[in-house]
Structure 1
Amino acid sequence: MDYDIAIVGGGPIGLAFARSLAGFGLKLAIIERQPLAALARPDYDGREIALSQRSVRILDDLGVRHLLPPGGVASLAAAHVLNGGAKRALVLDPARRRRELGKMVSNQDLRRALFEGVAGQDGLDWLVERDVEGIAFEPASAALSLNDGRTLRTPLVVAADGRLSQTRQAFGLGAEMNALGRSMLVVKVAHEHDHGQIATEWFDHGQTLALLPLQPRQSSFVLTLGDREIRELCALPPAALAAELERRSKRRWGSITLLSEPFRYPLVTTFAHRFVAPRAALIGDAAVGMHPVTAHGFNLGIQGQATLARQLAESARRGSDLGDLRPLRRYEQRHRLLCRPVFEATNHIVSLYTDERPHARALRGALLGLGARTRLPRTMIGTMLA
């Protein structure tokens, strides 16, 4: 065998998975099409990640949380959900024993910290600027054909190459895929009124807005509309786009100034039919690509890689075959049990709160009103972030 495990994809979840396996004497390869410099110094891409308390603990366990820049980590105290023109918000706050829901950190800083965490890791090889062109599964190994003409053999291939994963296709694992025909505009802004470290999700009529708190009077502004409308907004000059964001937010946060260029992300959700196959496993968005409205994508991904890593670490301690399907299936069972309810609930929320028919408007208003009068939302959030 050339490697004990080959990881396809050097994004945050692939890097976290490699770090989770440090210290077990395994020889790992990360296969990534980007050059090493792009992994070490990732560009800002507009995305800000809401880390749950559990994800923060995993980053602590990986020994990388301290590598995040102190000035780049913001507290997430609570979340407010708004419906149309209703003035009353559904307040989602943490369980009583906690003071915050989690942390806000940029995807750029998170990727940089995870890269630094695995840099120099014993037994880890970087196969960068390479693609997997084919995979042949044999009884005792998987043979990966790379675009540089090299063939690697390994007991296990782990795909961490995103929701449109080509590796998943090479595994022969299908997925539920839903291209929503809508896109997000994401831009970092400064605004007049303070956010109070509160994230706001606003299901307005014909659009969805989100304000994710960063530093004082600075936030990530997220606007979801049809693809064509988002393209047109991204093409506006900065002053004109800022004025449009003020108008669409009804100046809820006062005057707005852009602090970054706008980024456009088409919305596609995925859920793999299976997360594992003989000598193959999916993690991160390759397994489950969430709608971003509930901010669970990264959190589910980093929990999933930790679950798989624990199974493989136990196999390594026993000297067992790392590609044995039995521990892989235990990972699949546990991760599906975690992800499926959240995936379905998120899709139902998006469907209901973007439906402009009169009966849907009435129902979502009634549901938010019920939530505002009960302890259920607080209990659910506290459970998810435990």
Structure 2
Amino acid sequence: MPSAIQWGILGTGNIASQFAEGLRMLPDAGLLAVGSRSRASADAFASAHGVPHAYDSYEALVRDPNVDVIYIATPNHLHKENSLLCLNHGKAVLCEKPFTLDAEEAALVVHTARVKRLFCMEGMWNRFVPIMRELDALLRIGAIGDIRMLDANLGFPFEFNPHHRVFAPALGGGALLDLGVYPVSLALWLFGRPTRIISHAVMGTTGVDEQVSILLGFAEGRQATLTSSVRTPMQNDAVFMGTQGMIHLHAPLYRPETLTRISTRKHGEAVPSRPRAGLQRLIQHPLLRRLREQSTLQPPKPLTLKVLGNGYAHEAAEVMRCMREGLLESPFMPLNDTLLVMQTMDAIRGEWRRASEFEGVPAQPRRDPPAGNA
């Protein structure tokens, strides 16, 4: 493989443009080609981002022998089809979240990647930014004791348009797939497979979930409370709660840069350790030594680690690191994690279907809606 890994981008929308800008931050990455379903769109994208080769079909893109890996930036409902197209033509894949529409689709893509021995990864943006590595280090050494609870949320008020992908069931719309996948993925990264799922969704007029509340139960009594919405603004952050403190992961949850540790540990008290790989190396990290020395009388101090460019460079850099090392999966976003996320979201949606069978006449709201909103 040449020193510069050559990328292709499948799709020409806003996310594709952001990813192209992110690649500019990596000197060992080349953006060689773009594929679209129209010549005009492909040419416009190539001109805007300095891409040498523009193809008017996805099939032409995947047949380019000089493309090493393809970033899939199409709407949710096309992720399975596009991933399989790339893999079946020998291309490594970075697929934008959500990986697919459901676990069955995800399992097919994962199986294909493993059989063909090609690198494949879900582009779960927030898992690769620098502050998440620091968060992982803090949690691994027990900086807030035994982690018991997580509260995470992500929501934005999209302008309603029944034809927009967010509100279109056929395009894989809805709050859970588009935004809720971030807090769900975060909870499973933290606690593993849930043992119990309780969820409620507010369905919109187009048939997609516009507002979602989720309670996940895990082994040893751990819990995660997760919410997402495409109709209302949220704080877009997360709070990790342990027996000896909390860590606030500041907004935006999809690309965080700042965390604040709030400790209830007495000054000078030893940090308990847990038998996890690399523990001794983590304990000696200068950041962790400083945090262990802080007294609860000191005001919490946020820690900020800026992302590179717009943040997309970090996941691209991880893909290239893995490919150069001959890895077929990323240890930070393995395919089994992706499968678990999709299985969990299937179970969450199953909760909605079961709940709908028992819904009767809606109760009268406690507050009348504001005038003019009828």
- Please indicate, yes or no, whether the TM-score normalized by the shorter chain is above 0.5: no
TM-score w.r.t. length of structure 2: 0.34
Q: TM-score under structure 1 normalisation?
A: 0.33
Query: Which one has a larger percent strand, Structure 1 or Structure 2?
Result: 1
Q: With a CA cutoff of 8 Å and minimum separation of 6, indicate the structure with the bigger relative contact order.
A: 1
